[in-house]
Amino acid sequence: MVLPLVLVLAFSLTSQIEAELQVGFYRDKCRAAESVVKDEVKKAFDRDRGIAPGLLRLHFHDCFVRGCDASILIDSTPMNVGEKDGPPNVNTLCGTKVIDSAKARLEAECKGVVSCADILAFAARDAVEISNGFGWSVPAGRRDGRVSLASETLDIPAPFLNLDQLTQSFAKKGLTQEEMVTLCYTTPAGAHTIGHAHCTSFSNRLYDFNALSSQDPSLNPLYAEDLKRQCPRGPQGTVDPNLVVDMNFSPAVMDSSYYTDVLRHRGLFTSDQALTTSQATARQVTTYAVNGLLWESEFAKAMVKMSQIEVLTGTDGEIRTNCRVINNSN
């Protein structure tokens, strides 16, 4: 069988990346790398359990723009608006200080060795593990990008996408529809099973949904009434952007309860409920709802694959001294 050239090239590139990223990459370069990151995540989690979904979301949003290169951590300047100030991220990112703390400690121990991109990948894994969940081995060796543009954050899947749009968004990053269903709740507002969401990210489903219905008919009516109580309209007909709600019944635990919620029409976002609009994705949702161990296994594999999207390795990019600023930028 002769493979199409595009598949051959894709396989070659994937194999090259997998060869350059290695589990235990810092074993002989900075032995404390992963333990330092985990320690900082644990300290932050002990102060605020909401840090876990924040770190997972931070990694996801980073990987979907220019690949997993920590470009999301670069601060905006008078001359450039960075990713963290793009529409999906502005005033909603959580976890950057954890990355800063880990980076400062690692610079003191192993100056110029551990990349911000790897710290972010480790921290996302640790956030899942520490929140009563499970972990996985993280291949490392990423280098940091030098470009961060708010305009490119449009690549991040939005909460109002339908199934075809979601599938296309993930496919652009080399992820299958099956992997999309597995990872879907890491966006748009954090890991659904261990997080919270701003009311404004789904209030369109509660008020003025379309010309035929003020409320999204695919939303469980009792759930919708509960959400309206938590996200009321103000005098001007708008919802307070500072109001948040729990993602589901176990907002501090990493589990597959998200899929049970979707089956009960309690998916918070349009993009959540979209997972039930095809036989294939609905079947996968049902499987995960009843088999949490299978979902954990598939999630770990999908996270490893996602963390290798368009990574910089070798001599590409740099190892930032400060995750917020590119080197020699002053």
The annotation places the binding site at 62, 65, 67, 69, 71, 83, 157, 192-193, 246, 255
Q: Are 82 and 327 in contact (CB under 8 A)?
A: no
The dihedral through the CA atoms of 257, 240, 205, 150 has a sign that is: negative
- List, as residue ranges, the binding site for heme b: 192
Alpha carbon separation from 129 to 74, 78, 82, 113, 258 (Å, rounded): 26, 38, 30, 25, 17
198 as an active site residue: the answer is: no
Tell me which of 61, 196, 198, 265 is the catalytic residue: 61
CA distance 321 to 305: 26
Residue among 304, 308, 11 nearest 142 (CA):
308
DSSP-H helix ranges across the chain: 5-20, 33-47, 51-63, 96-109, 116-130, 163-171, 177-183, 221-230, 257-263, 270-273, 279-290, 292-306
Count the alpha carbons within 13 Å of 115 in the hemisphere toward its beta carbon.
26
CA distance 330 to 321: 13
CA distance 269 to 262: 10
Catalytic positions are 61
